[in-house]
Amino acid sequence: MFRPTKEHPERSTMTNLHLDMNPWLYIDQEDNSEQIEVLGELDYDSDDDWITENNESGCSKVGELHVQGLVNLADNLEEDGGFWLVPGFHKYLTQWADDHRELRNFYGHYDQFIMIDREYIPELYDAACHISSRAGSAILWDQRTIHGSQANRSLCPCYAQIIKMFPIDHPGMTLVRSEKRSKTILAKLQVVNINPETDLTPLGRKLFGL
């Protein structure tokens, strides 16, 4: 959530572009064995485990599809800030990462969240586009697309729910991990008095692994 800042500039957040993955690890790894190992060790007793899950996108040689997205919970105009991206960047990520290996030395080869300052990629900041949308609208993008958020400059709040999707038959989704994941989700739903049997649709229960 980005609070209105037009009358309260001290609330302003940083405009940024980032990748929820490491592009150099993505192009250098020969297979997904490390990704599967990391995912297999998740026990979901920490909220950080969900971030780890989100940021594992495999490697280019395997070419898995990982989709990120958000659902806007209020009408969102450009002056409200929020989501923006560089259209089509996912098609060029492999070449871009190879052409910008000098940034790997600065941002690291293993960090799985790469936020890049404008001074290093001014052309991408200039190409980034804000996606305005109505409340309830979903915006989906290939995880390999560099994206981020713009600062709020309006009298209106900007707030959204972030989501991530990956295939149900992903090799990293072992039975043990699936059970731990479902158990944690069920506990979180119960804390806010959501009954999966009565408050979720069959599709909702399927998506939550319940």
**Whole-prediction pTM:** 0.90
- Residues 207, 153, single domain; the answer is no
Mean pLDDT of the chain: 93
d(CA 205, CA 194): 12
pLDDT of residue 187: 95
Q: Can you give the pLDDT at residue 52? A: 94
In this structure, the answer to whether residues 192 and 143 fall within a common structural domain is no
Q: Are 93 and 26 in contact (CB under 8 A)?
A: yes
Give the tens place of pLDDT for each residue, 43-60: 999 999 999 999 999 999
- Return the DSSP state at 154: S
Whether 147 and 197 map to the same domain: the answer is no
Nearest to 22, CA basis, from 143, 172, 148, 168 = 143
Structure tokens of 141? Answer: 């993008």
**pLDDT band with cut points at 50, 70 and 90 for residue 169:** confident
pLDDT band at 110 (very low <50, low <70, confident <90, very high): confident
- Residue 3 forms part of a structural domain: no
pLDDT category at 179 given cuts 50, 70, 90 is very high
Q: Which domain holds residue 86?
A: 9-166
In terms of domains, do 104 and 185 share one?
Answer: no
- Residues 113 and 193 reside in one and the same domain: no
